[in-house]
Amino acid sequence: MSGTAGSATIDCDVLVVGAGPAGSVAAREAAVAGARVVLVDRRPRVGKPARCAGFLPAAAARKLEFVQLPVLQQIETMEVRTPGGSRLRLNSPGFIVERELLDRRLAAAAADAGALLITGCRARPDGAGADCRRAGGEGLRIDAPVIVGADGPLSPTALAAGFKRQKCVRAAQVTLDPGGGGRALEIFHEPVFSGGYGWFFPAGDSCRVGVAVDGASGITAPEAIKYLLGRVSGRLPRGRRLLATTGGLVPVSGKVSPGRGNIILAGDAAGLCHPLTGAGIAAALESGAMAGAAAAGAAAGDTGALERYRRELAEIYGSALERARERRKEIESSRRLDALTFSLAVRRGWALAGKGAERERHDLNALNLENV
Ligand SMILES: Cc1cc2nc3c(=O)[nH]c(=O)nc-3n(C[C@H](O)[C@H](O)[C@H](O)COP(=O)(O)OP(=O)(O)OC[C@H]3O[C@@H](n4cnc5c(N)ncnc54)[C@H](O)[C@@H]3O)c2cc1C
């Protein structure tokens, strides 16, 4: 590099914008392949605050052998509840992870592989790199022939590549101690949770209760949380304390936006968050690894690498997201109809979303786990 983190201009092979799961994995992969990588995040501390319920499917956990997974709770099943008392039970092997710690470990792994990590650095990407504003107010120019946009739902890199802002629903979540125990994720579909649903996830000694809604039924995310807490409070131990609150945006467009020119996008920035379940960590990790390899290839002179990445991303995710989008539409249009029609639409949608995990069996001994 022709500069240091404190200088006004840095020159590198690959600029990665955003040190969430997608960006850190991309930066690590590109650095391991020999590229000079700069990874920037606007937050002063990677992963903080965590805007996540932390469910990581076991299939995605298996690909993270290079970090210890900070596990709060092992999960076996998912129960999807609909009005009228119907329940759909799905196999759902995985873990509730401590997201802040996971993000920090992934970013540290990227730095260990040789990427230069700059936090507190808000990037405004363009076709040749990014103008950045650092926490103290000073500017920084990063020049790079290849840019990986892994900057989440509102991705400025996606906007710079000419993509429209994604449609998102608003999520809110509380962490309560003690929780209710168990190894099942619980999903609550109620007519008032317009555009989304509620969840109750066990997380070690505590639990996470959250909702995501689009506001169309006139209920805000905090109001929806109160409603859901009323529904589940009978099952929670007495004397519980509120440990944390969080929230955030969950993209529901479900359209792959893989990038353009010398920009490639990964994770939520690429539109990979599942429009029905709101799950995005697994896709962020997978697309991040693919993006990092493609970026390093392009930096080393492989002129087709970025275009191949974009094509492969669309091939892997395009039709699955489209099907999920259709199921989501079906659920939303039946929300105001009778309970049976609504329940059937929910069951069809979630059965499809959970299909891949039905036959999965995992050897936990093969995973790099740490109970936290
Ligand atoms: C409340 C909530 C609960 C969720 N629960 C789950 C769950 O249980 N399981 C699951 O799979 N998914 C869940 N999700 C979705 C999941 O969190 C995302 O899909 C996942 O974080 C996507 O990872 P990413 O790396 O693409 O983006 P992000 O994790 O959003 O990371 C993007 C990074 O880019 C940085 N950034 C943004 N703009 C700039 C800029 N201009 N310059 C520099 N840096 C920038 C941000 O600071 C951030 O660190 C949840 C989402 C919410 C909101």
Whether residue 87 lies inside any domain: the answer is yes
Condensed to tens digits (0 to 9), the pLDDT of residues 101-137 reads 999 999 999 999 999 999 999 999 998 999 999 988 8
Whether residue 212 lies inside any domain: the answer is yes
Nearest C-alpha to atom 30 of ligand 1 is from which residue? Answer: 152
Tokens of 230: 């009323």
Segment 131-152 mean pLDDT: 95
Residues 263 and 313 occupy one common structural domain: yes
Residues 203 and 242 occupy one common structural domain: yes
Whether residue 62 lies inside any domain: the answer is yes
Residues 240 and 104 occupy one common structural domain: no
Tokens of 285: 């990790």
Q: The pTM is what?
A: 0.96
Note the pLDDT of residue 357.
67
Residues 194 and 259 occupy one common structural domain: no
Whether residue 216 lies inside any domain: the answer is yes
Whether residue 352 lies inside any domain: the answer is no
Note the pLDDT of residue 198.
97
CB of 196 within 6 A of ligand 1: the answer is: no
Whether residue 122 lies inside any domain: the answer is yes
Residues 207 and 274 occupy one common structural domain: no
Nearest C-alpha to atom 16 of ligand 1 is from which residue? Answer: 280
Residues 172 and 239 occupy one common structural domain: yes
Q: How far apart, in whole angstroms, are the C-alpha atoms of residue 370 and residue 37?
A: 29
Q: How far apart, in whole angstroms, are the C-alpha atoms of residue 201 and residue 73?
A: 9
Rg (CA), the chain: 21
The total domain count for the chain is: 2
Banded model confidence at residue 3, pLDDT cuts 50, 70, 90: very low
Condensed to tens digits (0 to 9), the pLDDT of residues 316-338 reads 999 999 999 999 999 999 998 99
Whether residue 146 lies inside any domain: the answer is yes
Condensed to tens digits (0 to 9), the pLDDT of residues 84-104 reads 788 999 999 999 999 999 999
Residues 190 and 231 occupy one common structural domain: yes
**Residue span of the structural domain in which 153 resides:** 9-49+100-166+254-328
Residues 18 and 123 occupy one common structural domain: yes
Segment 247-255 mean pLDDT: 96
Q: How far apart, in whole angstroms, are the C-alpha atoms of residue 28 and residue 113?
A: 6
- In DSSP notation, 210-277 reads EEEE-STTS--HHHHHHHHHHHHGGGSPTT-EEEEEEEEEEE-------EETTEEE-GGGGT-S-TTT
CB of 173 within 6 A of ligand 1: the answer is: yes
Segment 147-161 mean pLDDT: 98
- Interval between CA 14 and ligand 1 midpoint (Å): 21
Nearest C-alpha to atom 53 of ligand 1 is from which residue? Answer: 248
